[in-house]
Amino acid sequence: MTDTTSSPLPLLIVDDDATFARVLSRALSSRGFEVIAASGIEEARLLARRHQPRYCVLDLKLGEENGLRLIPELHAMVPDMRILLLTGYASIATAVEAIKRGAHDYLAKPVDADAVVRALLDGDGPAPADDDLPDAPEAPLALRRLEWEHIQRVLTECDGNISETARRLGMHRRTLQRKLSKHPVRERPDGQN
C-alpha cells in the first residue's frame, strides 16, 4: 500500500545543461519532488501553464537567454511558486536583481541537491523585503571582481542582451563574451584576492 498522505511536490527545473538537469531531477525525485524539466524559456512557459508547479529551479543562463526575465512570468502563471535561481556566474548584482524580480533564493553552482531542497522548502513564505537583500561584503573587492560585478549589473539591466551590454560598457561584443565565458573571480577565504 502506498502512502497518500505525502503527495509529491511539483517542481519545474529550467536548465539548458541536459546532464545537470538529469542528475538534479533524479536527486530531487528521490527527495519527494515530482520533477518536470525544460531546457529553454518557451518550454518552461508551456510546462508551467500545463502543470502549475509549486517550485522552480531556474538557471540564470539559458543559451542566449537570461533566466531572470522568466521569473515575473512564472509568478504571473503560478503566483505562489517558489523560485530558486542557480548560476555558475554568481555576483551580488545578479543576486539582488533575482530577489527583486521575485526569486525566493539564489545559489551558485556547483550545488548539491540537499542545498536545493533547503532553499526551496526553508521559510516557505513571501519573498524577502528590500532591506533583507544581501549586504555588500565588508572587505573591499579585488579590481577583477569589481569588474565582474559591474558587467553582471549592466548585463542584468540589458535583460541579458550581449550586444547592448557591450555597447554600454564601451567594449567589443567578442571581448564581453570572452569575459562572460570565464568563471567569476573567486574570493579567498581570508577576504584577500
> What is the C-alpha to C-alpha distance for residues 32 and 29, in angstroms, rounded to an integer?
5
Detail the DSSP E strand segments found in the chain. 9-14, 33-38, 55-59, 61-62, 65-66, 82-87, 105-108
pLDDT of residue 179: 77
Strands 82-87, 105-108: pairing kind:
parallel
Q: Which three cell numbers stand for residue 46?
A: 508551456
Residue 107 sits at φ, ψ, to 5 deg, of -130, 145
- pLDDT of amino acid 159: 82
Q: How far apart are CA 188 and CA 80, in angstroms?
A: 37
Span 19-31, pLDDT tens digits:
888 988 999 998 8
Is 35:58 a contact under the CB 8 Å cutoff? no
What's the pTM? Answer: 0.62
Q: What is the pLDDT of residue 176?
A: 81
User: Which residue stretches of the chain have pLDDT < 70?
Assistant: 1-7, 89-90, 123-146, 148-149, 182-193
CA torsion angle 37 43 49 50 (round to 10): -60
Q: Which three cell numbers stand for residue 128?
A: 524577502
pLDDT at res. 183:
57
Q: Which residue is listed with cell 537567454? A: 65
Instruction: Supply the pLDDT for residue 136.
Output: 39
Cα–Cα dist 129/82, whole Å: 15
- Find where cell 550586444 sits: 163
- pLDDT number for residue 132: 42
pLDDT for the residue 34: 93
Which residues, listed in sequence order, are joined to residue 61 by a DSSP beta bridge?
Answer: 66
Cell matching residue 56: 522552480
pLDDT of 74 reads 93
Which of 172, 191, 189 has the alpha carbon at shortest distance from 180? 172
Q: What domains does the chain contain, in order, with CATH numbers?
A: 9-132 (3.40.50.2300), 137-193 (1.10.10.60)
DSSP codes of every residue in 74-89: HHHHSTT-EEEEEESS
CA distances from 163 to 67, 129, 173 (A): 17, 32, 6
pLDDT digit string (tens) for 47-72?
A: 999 999 999 999 988 878 888 889 99
CB 63 within 8 A of CB 37: no
